[in-house]
Structure 1
């Protein structure tokens, strides 16, 4: 009888322990879910439920290949936007429990609403699936996508007739592009490489492989010192034009209420990065030092005039002086707007 009693007692304690573990993980999960829409700011401390703290000897958070025991939103550990982390709870009985969670980190300042006025409209070849868009004087440099149709070309603003056009091989889906001095850099979507052309002739000069950290090629711009690249995630990557195969640093992008991914065509102008967001009728103004969205330009009315709601999305940003020049994939028009 004694042996049976001891066995039953051990089984009971095991069940109690399992029940407590489950309750603790549920409590932590409920807290994390309640915080997702509210989010955190850098410097905030995670307010872990007291029952979780009482049950724990130590709590750490793992993110990628990093782990931290300080339960504060530290910018050296977290990034803006979504952070998919794992809570590691060492219980007082010596067990280690784990709970996956998403921690959203937002900017502190609310972005301004950028207003605009349409100044001019220009024709655009609706066959062009615009991926990269720059204006040099009155000359448009455009990168067009789609397998079998990809190319880089130039034409005069107000005309749809190419001056120079360099086509890509059938397996290439061209993406963003930018002008750097006397060269033009162009990305590819899934081919894990970019091209460098002579600016005047669009003759291919060389190719470069992507850094392994990059998933795909989406948007590209140049701030006068570094290339800035998007790959469809929440990140912007900074590269040395002399060695574009190496990522120098990375920032993530978020406003005070939302993290943004699918950052597409990019343009740098007067200290800000401007970015299209795929399938959204907005352009973000981004601080390139920390990824905070400082302004949002809502172009819904223009998009309604030019898009059918399919893949012919807003995707093209350039500047003519301080006026912004915009277009989209398969749009028949280019718009010149003043922004405030």
Structure 2
């Protein structure tokens, strides 16, 4: 796909931040503390919070918030607690608004929230094998009405294709200009949406003739990797820990989830596919696919595809697993890779 481009993740410091009507001060008289002195939690844990008052100022009220869930205390109370159950996973920030003497201090502290259950592990069984263009540097793969649509990458060789998956025949093909590196694709409301890598732009085509009809900008993420949709909104990966949630009409990146296990937050998630209410995502340069809860980001399963690459023709341009397509009509799952000469129909088997 691309050269590894590890983005440096910005780690929020536990420095206290003052703002609002108290913004003229460099520091705050208050500090936000986690009573159990942890910065990493799992769903089901309780986070106990306390406001320390260095100058014994009168506190009128305190509003605490984590991932849009709030708690408020009054009458001089300085403590609260959150039982983690509905929050999104990943890197989160706890916010406290301290109302005191007609001023408001805003305090922030970062936490990590992991899932409380380890992912299930799966392997695979090859059900059928079909031909695939060995020159296709596969970036995105999606079915519509038993027809397979594919996005390929590389500068000067990127394309959008409509194919007969059983024969491997390319029925229609549109080449991108040499300044575009094609990435993930997804189809919604008779339009095809194709990402580009570092160009900060997505391309829109009509479904029938594969004619380009428009484009859209990435308003928060810097890169385009994978794309899928649930019929109402898009999900877009960008190589970081975030999978962005896009408005289906405006294509604006309005929110995000962070794929997370019971131990870690994942990055480098690449090609995405919507499969029966879950997001399937392969990790770049790995032989695994994560099964992700789209509501909170929990990685509920991991599929081990090791050994599949050895089933295709070995040649100098052969590259990694990348390409997941689910046919909702037949409920069959297909995978391929970059410059693979085979497309595999796969049955997922629990280990």
* TM-score when normalising by structure 2: 0.70
Listed one character per residue, the Cα deviations across residues 218-238 of structure 1 (whole Å, up to 9, x for unaligned) are: 000010111111111111111
What is the rounded CA distance, in whole Å, between the counterparts of 2:84 and 2:127 in structure 1?
41
SS at match of 2:41: coil
Whether 2:253 is the aligned partner of 1:254: answer no
What is the rounded CA distance, in whole Å, between the counterparts of 1:257 and 1:143 in structure 2?
33
Equivalences for residues 1-340 of structure 1 within 5 A: 39-42=40-43, 44=45, 80-82=89-91, 104-211=112-219, 213-244=220-251, 246-306=252-312, 312-320=319-327, 321-340=330-349
Q: Aligned-pair distance for 1:137?
A: 3.3
Q: Choose 113-122 or 323-332, whichever is displaced more.
A: 113-122
1:91 corresponding residue in structure 2: none
Distance 1:167 1:190, change over 3 A: same
Q: Aligned-pair distance for 1:312?
A: 1.1
Listed one character per residue, the Cα deviations across residues 246-266 of structure 1 (whole Å, up to 9, x for unaligned) are: 122211111112321111111
Any stretches of 5+ residues in structure 2 without a counterpart? 1-36, 57-65, 72-77, 95-108
Q: Aligned-pair distance for 1:278?
A: 0.6
More strand by share: 2
What is the rounded CA distance, in whole Å, between the counterparts of 1:282 and 1:187 in structure 2?
22
What is the rounded CA distance, in whole Å, between the counterparts of 1:204 and 1:294 in structure 2?
37
Distance 1:187 1:70, change over 3 A: farther
8 Å Cα contact 2:317/2:339 also seen in 1: no
* Bigger radius of gyration: 1
SS at match of 2:279: strand
What is the rounded CA distance, in whole Å, between the counterparts of 1:323 and 1:70 in structure 2?
52
More helix by share: 1
* TM-score when normalising by structure 1: 0.72
8 Å Cα contact 1:187/1:194 also seen in 2: yes
8 Å Cα contact 1:41/1:73 also seen in 2: no
What is the rounded CA distance, in whole Å, between the counterparts of 2:170 and 2:317 in structure 1?
26
Distance 1:186 1:73, change over 3 A: farther
Listed one character per residue, the Cα deviations across residues 138-184 of structure 1 (whole Å, up to 9, x for unaligned) are: 32100000111111011101333321111111110011001112111
8 Å Cα contact 2:148/2:164 also seen in 1: yes
8 Å Cα contact 2:44/2:116 also seen in 1: no
Distance 1:309 1:79, change over 3 A: farther
2:16 corresponding residue in structure 1: none
